[in-house]
Amino acid sequence: MPFIWLDDNQRNFNQTTFGLYTAIGDVRQGPDRNNGEFHEAINSLGALLSAGLVGIDKTNQDGFNYVKMAQNYFNHENGWNIMMNNTTPEIAHLGGGYGRDWWYDMFPNLLYYAVSDVFPGVERSDSLLQIIAEQVLKADSVLDGNYHFSYFDYAAMQGMQSHIPYQEDAAAAHAWILLAAWEKFGDKRYLDGSHSAMQALLAQNESRFYEVLMPFGAYAAARLNAEHNASYDIKTILEWTFEGTHAPDGRYGWGVILDRWGEYDVSGLVGSWSHDGGFAFLMNTFDLAWPLVPMVRYAPEYAVAIGKWMLNAANASRFFYPHEMPDQHQWLPEQKAITRNVIAYEGLKKMDHLGKPALKDISPVALGDGPLWVKGQPDESVFSLYGSAHVGIFGAIIQETNVQRILRLNCLATDFYRQDAFPTWLIYNPYNEDKTIEY
């Protein structure tokens, strides 16, 4: 079945863009549903980033410049002037989403900055990057250290509170973007803004990790310390990331899982340790490597910790893939052939929550929330394109060595907007004795 289509609504720019299904068979999506406009930047930009990281040129493929086409996610028609998860905000209210949600509004901007570093020189890209930086800089100035909001209206320049938990870790996203903008454009206002956002993040009394943004603060802190003589507390941000959120008005239980579910070691996966005993997500696990592996270039004292985490995450991430998991531990094994083992389940859960009798008392279970998003979703929507699309992050970072369980991690792969550097690898030895690898 096709997973991609053309969207010729020409939102924001007079050009055709493209859509990808969020999950297989998603009834909200495709060229004939919702005017062909229901598609997500975290999926499309994630796929472009993954492709670029492993050497696939998406600026000239089958006659399409997909990187330029993705610029339609830059929402200027509504005055926000940032990348958003949809080409028009109305799409967010068509089911399955939360409407305005700060991480959904910010993460596409990190993705676009990364994609633009992997694919430099695309028409209009630099101007969009600078506009995004200006919007983020203004927002941080308006927030003035107080990020206690569910989302931020980048048109009205006003923090907003709703039923969505407050997401102070948006400050980490602001710090990362403004540091990248400083490296890209050399405007000291952006560097100052990165410091301001970092100070707001570290002013928190506890973890406010919500979805994916917090660890980008650890990277920004490490780089500001190493390159700009700052002294930010990296350890605290890492603890907030790994130990997760315990605040009752935050996303309680969100962090890095340290556990065994049945006979499976799921330590290293990112998600909720509290939701029905535990619910891990593939996209979030892939995305945690993006800031943390290059971070050790600037803060090598954390190399052992990050190396150990990556080994565990690499091991456990295979459990999301239907051809890597025994049939009795997955929700839809009879349809796994359609995934070709490149489209994974959205999540891995300690226990099935979708009510399949055959999975009663089975732990863990590879599954997805897709069937619950809206009425009429097919069972196949447990298979997630949006999570699988980020696999290139692991693909670019992880290399095997000749010694089992010793990985060679490329610290430059996701170190975007960096200075020139020699090849840099993180190699963690999990054994209690010296090992020799072929390098």
The DSSP string of 213-281 is: -HHHHHHHHHHHHHHH-----HHHHHHHHHH----TTS-TTEEE---EETTEE-TT-EEESSGGG-EEE
Residue 228 has pLDDT above 60, yes or no: yes
The domain defined by 4-427 folds into Glycosyltransferase (1.50.10)
What confidence score (pLDDT) does residue 370 get? 92
Task: Determine whether 422 is exposed, middle or buried from the number of CB atoms within 10 Å of its CB (0-12, 13-18, 19+).
Answer: exposed
Q: Quick one: average pLDDT of 180-187? A: 99
pLDDT tens-digit map of 8-67 = 999 999 999 999 999 999 999 999 999 999 999 999 999 999 999 999 999 999 999 999
Please state, for a pLDDT cut of 90, what percent of the chain lies above it.
95
Taking phi over 0 as left and psi of -120 to 50 as alpha, with beta for the rest, 235 belongs to alpha
Residue 96 has pLDDT above 70, yes or no: no
| Chain centre to alpha carbon of residue 29 | 21
Cβ neighbours for 272, distance < 8 A, ≥ 6 positions apart: 251, 253, 254, 278, 279, 280
What confidence score (pLDDT) does residue 319 get? 98
Q: How far apart are CA 283 and CA 311, in angstroms?
A: 17
How does DSSP classify residue 437?
Answer: -
What confidence score (pLDDT) does residue 95 get? 60
What confidence score (pLDDT) does residue 353 get? 92
Q: How far apart are CA 413 and CA 409, in angstroms?
A: 9
Q: Quick one: average pLDDT of 179-201? A: 99
Q: How far apart are CA 104 and CA 100, in angstroms?
A: 8
pLDDT tens-digit map of 249-260 = 899 999 999 999
Q: How far apart are CA 313 and CA 253, in angstroms?
A: 18
Cβ neighbours for 63, distance < 8 A, ≥ 6 positions apart: none
Mean of all residue pLDDT scores within the chain: 97
What confidence score (pLDDT) does residue 363 get? 97
Task: Determine whether 227 is exposed, middle or buried from the number of CB atoms within 10 Å of its CB (0-12, 13-18, 19+).
Answer: middle
Please state, for a pLDDT cut of 70, what percent of the chain lies above it.
99
pTM listed for this prediction = 0.97
Domain ranges of the chain: 4-427
What confidence score (pLDDT) does residue 93 get? 76
Give the confidence band of 2 by pLDDT, cuts at 50, 70, 90: confident
Q: Quick one: average pLDDT of 284-293? A: 99
Give the confidence band of 97 by pLDDT, cuts at 50, 70, 90: low
What confidence score (pLDDT) does residue 98 get? 58
Q: How do strand 254-256 and strand 347-349 relate by DSSP bridges?
A: unpaired
How does DSSP classify residue 420?
Answer: P
Partner residues linked to 113 by β-bridges = none
Residue 119 has pLDDT above 70, yes or no: yes
pLDDT tens-digit map of 335-355 = 999 999 999 999 999 999 999
Give the confidence band of 100 by pLDDT, cuts at 50, 70, 90: confident
